[in-house]
Amino acid sequence: MIINGEKLDLKELKLMDFLKEKGYKIELIALELNGEIISKDRFENLILKENDKAEIVSFVGGG
């Protein structure tokens, strides 16, 4: 699987475990998985598979 351009040699990965490990704030991110935007209500049970490609975008405020 590829997450934000980085190849991970895993068969499966629970999305929420990955997000927590990396310190993402769930309310401040968007997820695109294989070209589709995924709603936050699906995050808890989402398992990323070997051939998935995910992009995680964090929103930051500032000026």
Q: What is the pLDDT along the chain (63 residues), one digit of tens a residue?
A: 999 999 999 999 999 999 999 999 999 999 999 999 999 999 999 999 999 999 999 987 765
Distance between CA atoms of residues 44 and 47, nearest Å? 9
Tokens linked to 49: 């598979």
pLDDT for 63: 59
pLDDT for 24: 94
Report the relative pairing of strands 53-58 and 2-3 from DSSP bridges.
parallel
Place of tokens 């997820």: 31
